[in-house]
Structure 1
Amino acid sequence: MDILSNLKYAKGAKKNRKRVARGEGSGHGGQATRGMNGQKSRSGAKFKAWFEGGQMPLQRRIPKFGFTNIFKTEYQVVNLNALQRIANENALDNKTLTLEDLKKFGLISSVNKPVKILGKGELKAKLSVQANAFSKSAQQKIEAAGGSITKI
């Protein structure tokens, strides 16, 4: 008959807490489960998780790739579809677009940085475009529409 006062845990369900470093009688005195000697056996021992015991660390062993070219030219990019949109909105035809115009229409952020015209999209307006660089497809599409390019 199971009465609440007679209930007990099943055998092996409850284990005693391991009392480390509480004398030899606990079975975990002496080195207190820290092993023999070494940094990790001492009190106050701490080192980074990636420390490899003085071995050359992984982040210094692996090879480094690539480099950063400090002379690289960063272009401001303008696509032909943006030029066509500006031409439609402002009725530009047979006009010359300078860097100042591109800045005024919000296509570039600065007049002092080089601008490259790329050939994404179609151009129907006859425009004369001034920029620092042109892609081949942009040059062909501008000239096919009757416009011209001028490299600055």
Structure 2
Amino acid sequence: MKLNELRDNEGATKNRIRVGRGIGSGKGKTGGRGVKGQKARSGVRIKGFEGGQMPIYRRLPKRGFNNPGARDLNEVNVGRIQQAVDAGKLATDAPVTVEALVAAGVVSRVRDGVKILGVGELTAKLTFQVTGASKSAREAIEKAGGSLTLLDEAVAQA
């Protein structure tokens, strides 16, 4: 195969339709928009319009609350951390932090912190420095002989 022989698969690309280019094109005059009215014009904005009736998004009551101060945490199970330790991606002598988990590929990116959850089994003795941990995760870490430092508590005490 040569560079000049490269081409898309059959049917992968379609020619664009040039609307409003004469009646012989089949898409002339009204350009496929029908006749007259608001929808035939450019700049139409009638999503949710119900012909003058009160729209459903205004008839239904508001509900719930979006917390602007909510933290977007990475949630990691202790079983997933143990897999990373077994694979040699996470060192047992260094503390387990957000940066260490990103470097090991356990989490994809640093968000507002990491919360450790208790699903799975932890056998490695690890030192955790994370934002939060569930009760079952704390028990699993202490059972394995590790320690847990919550970063928010350390900031609050300082």
Q: Which runs of 5+ in 1 are unaligned?
A: 1-43
After TM superposition, the score normalised by the length of structure 2 is 0.58
Report the count of equivalent residues: 109
Secondary structure class of the residue paired with 1:96: coil
User: Aligned partners of 2:97 and 2:49: how far apart in 1?
Assistant: 56
User: Aligned partners of 1:75 and 1:127: how far apart in 2?
Assistant: 21
Q: What is the CA distance between 1:89 and its match in structure 2?
A: 1.3
1:72 aligned onto 2:70: yes
Mapped contact 1:142–1:149 kept (Cα < 8 A): yes
1:63 to 36, 61, 65: 61
Q: Corresponding residue for 1:82?
A: 80
Q: Which runs of 5+ in 2 are unaligned?
A: 1-35, 40-45, 152-158
Backbone CA RMSD of aligned residues: 2.7
User: Aligned partners of 1:58 and 1:131: how far apart in 2?
Assistant: 44
After TM superposition, the score normalised by the length of structure 1 is 0.60
Secondary structure class of the residue paired with 2:141: helix
User: Aligned partners of 2:38 and 2:64: how far apart in 1?
Assistant: 35
Mapped contact 2:73–2:111 kept (Cα < 8 A): no
Residues 45 and 132 of structure 1: is their aligned pair in 2 closer, same or farther, counting only changes over 3 Å? closer
Q: What is the CA distance between 1:92 and its match in structure 2?
A: 4.2
Larger Rg: 1
**Identity %, equivalent residues:** 40
Mapped contact 2:138–2:148 kept (Cα < 8 A): yes
Q: Corresponding residue for 1:136?
A: 135
Deviation per CA, 1:89-109, whole angstroms, max 9, x where unpaired? 118445422222111101223
